[in-house]
Amino acid sequence: MPPQAIRKLQPGRLVIASHNEGKVREIRELLAPFGIEPVSAAELDLPEPVENGTTFYANAELKAMSAADLSGLPALSDDSGLCVEALGGAPGVYTADWAEKRAFEGGPGRDWYMAMGKVEGKLAELGPDVSRSAYFACTLALAWPDGHVEWFEGRVHGTLVWPPRGRRGFGYDPVFVAQGETETFGEMDPARKHAISHRAAAFRQLVDAVF
């Protein structure tokens, strides 16, 4: 798809196209200084679209476009995940799927401790000298009701630890230590995480472009 001209985002309501409370909380905090009135997809009772894309870009776009179309407002979505070097980039775009509970696991719902355990189990199968390098990737898609979309991507590289540490953050945060840090994202003060995370990196690009 050819690049589109950057469109500025005006003050007012903006749908955060996510039902993930952790993501919504982080994005609200990042948007706070810009005169934006964030409202979540859950608050508007918008349905969750099927995330059948095979890339972060595709899933971010479909979520943002769905929310913008249904609400008549600009919408911002995030598709992000953990990419583990030794696992060929998995879980990657299927990061949330690894946390899905099946019927015999007490589903439906997501169990992030189970997901972290799956990653650790697969690394253990590869032996004690396996690389524990990983990165978090985030793609933000900003869509308008007329179909215009902008995309922004950020990454943060680091290593995986076990067992999980810390109760802050969400998802795989308790097993990820960013380069140059000693605390996991699950231990880190939220303000520090916002300064260095993959989501913050993508958000800085968005701010530079549309505000």
Is the CB of residue 165 less than 8 Å from the CB of residue 140?
A: no
Segment 74-95 mean pLDDT: 96
141, β-bridge pairs: 77, 151
Q: Which helix (H) or strand (E) holds 84?
A: strand 75-84
Q: How far apart are CA 168 and CA 174, in angstroms?
A: 8
- 32: pLDDT confidence band, cut at 50, 70 and 90? confident
**Closest alpha carbon to 16 in 79, 65, 75:** 75
**69 noted as active-site residue:** no
- Amino acid code (one letter) for 177: V
Q: Which helix (H) or strand (E) holds 198?
A: helix 198-210
How crowded is residue 116: how many other Cβ atoms within 10 Å of its Cβ?
24
Q: How far apart are CA 190 and CA 60, in angstroms?
A: 23
Q: Which residues contact 85 (CB under 8 A, 6 or more apart)?
A: 131, 133, 134
**Closest alpha carbon to 38 in 7, 78, 5:** 78
Segment 44-66 mean pLDDT: 94
Show the DSSP H helices in 41-173 as ranges.
56-71, 112-125
Position 2 pLDDT exceeds 60: no
Segment 38-57 mean pLDDT: 92
Is the CB of residue 67 less than 8 Å from the CB of residue 143?
A: yes
The model carries a pTM of 0.86
pLDDT digits (tens, 9 = 90+) for 150-168: 999 999 999 999 999 999 9
Tokens coding 146: 């007329």
The residue from 69, 79, 97, 111 that is catalytic is: 79
Domains parsed from the chain with CATH numbers = 12-210 (3.90.950.10)
- 3: pLDDT confidence band, cut at 50, 70 and 90? very low
Tell which wins on pLDDT, 198 or 20.
198
Dihedrals phi, psi of 197, to nearest 5 degrees: -75, 165
Dihedrals phi, psi of 37, to nearest 5 degrees: -105, 90
